[in-house]
Amino acid sequence: MCPPEHFVVEYEINPWMDAATPVDAELAVKQWDALRETLCGFGHEVHVLSPEIGLPDMVFAANGAFTVDGVAYGARFKYPQRTAEAVAHRRYYADREPWRFVAPTETNEGEGDFAYLPDAYGGTILAGYGFRTETTAHAEAQEVLGRPVLSLRLVDPRFYHLDVALAAIDDTNIAYYPDAFSESSQRVLAQLFPDAVRADELDALAFGLNLVSDGRHVVLSHEAGGLAAKLAAAEYVPVQVDLSELKKGGGSVKCCVAELRT
């Protein structure tokens, strides 16, 4: 995670960002801190990346890489405003055991467009394309990480990353908003994940799917009450947090967290 000390909305690269809307960075840091404490409270270890002036989207740490079994596949951002963030993430993995960092040649925004289900079909990567990550990066990720990558086409610009439309809720199952995907991708998801939790448009627009789950606790936006109820009915423990300031940048819980799968 990376604290939003320098968070502002000064450019617009997704439909949620409006450079004319002021951001309260102090409140953003408070909300981010509460998220960090929530995760620590469940026994998770959180590593903190130093925020850099001039890189306001660094708080969305999920975009910096994608890790599976000790291998970190680096990001290559679509927009120049975020390019330099990849360097900070690379430095994090390069200096640390047990990581093996692999630099990308193809455009991909890390965990923003990649999700991992360790026990689905022996380990499956779900990958989004259509707005940010290129399908050539899906093939590259499969080569680098040695797990099958399933390409899913995103069709609604409001859901420009996979992680605002779909989330792993445990080692085998997902929650998702079907209409964010092409009809064929919806069929693929319905075929592979018949027991998935389906979110409605309201919960998806509240960034409810931009969640972090440890298989039991599911941390998600305070605005996604409908999805929280569905998760509770499926015997997960929903934990709702307020990240209203970061929503102005087009992200929520999951965007703030890069999962370290060693």
Single-letter amino acid, residue 197: V
Catalytic residue among 40, 161, 217, 222: 161
In the list 71, 86, 164, 219, the residue contacting ligand ARG (rule: CB under 6 A) is 164
| Binding span for ligand ARG by CB under 6 A among 9-17, 27-35, 92-100, 118-126 | 9-17
Residue with smaller CB distance to ligand ARG, 78 or 230? 78
Q: Does 49 participate in binding ligand ARG (rule CB under 6 A)?
A: no
Phi/psi of residue 149, nearest 5 degrees:
-110, 125
Residues in the interface with ligand ARG (CB under 6 A) total: 16
The C-alpha atoms of residue 204 and residue 164 are separated, in whole angstroms, by 7
First to last CA, the chain: 16
Q: What share of the chain is helix, strand, coil (3-state, %, to 5)?
A: 35, 20, 45
Q: Does 161 participate in binding ligand ARG (rule CB under 6 A)?
A: yes
Provide, rounded to whole angstroms, the least separation between the CB of residue 4 and ligand ARG.
11
The C-alpha atoms of residue 27 and residue 169 are separated, in whole angstroms, by 28
Provide, rounded to whole angstroms, the least separation between the CB of residue 254 and ligand ARG.
6
Q: Does 255 participate in binding ligand ARG (rule CB under 6 A)?
A: yes
Radius of gyration over alpha carbons of the chain, in Å?
17
The C-alpha atoms of residue 171 and residue 64 are separated, in whole angstroms, by 22
In the list 1, 7, 14, 130, the residue contacting ligand ARG (rule: CB under 6 A) is 14
| Strand locations in 110-235 (E) | 114-117, 124-129, 149-153, 166-168, 174-176, 197-198, 212-213, 217-221
Q: What angle do CA 6, 114, 219 make, to 5 degrees?
A: 65
Residue 161 appears among annotated catalytic residues: yes
Write the interaction track for ligand ARG spanning residues 74-113; mark x where CB under 6 A is met and - where it is not: --------x-----------------------------x-
Provide, rounded to whole angstroms, the least separation between the CB of residue 235 and ligand ARG.
27
Q: Which residues bind ligand ARG (CB under 6 A)?
A: 13-14, 17, 57, 60, 62-63, 82, 112, 161, 163-164, 249-251, 255
Residues with a known catalytic role: 161, 255
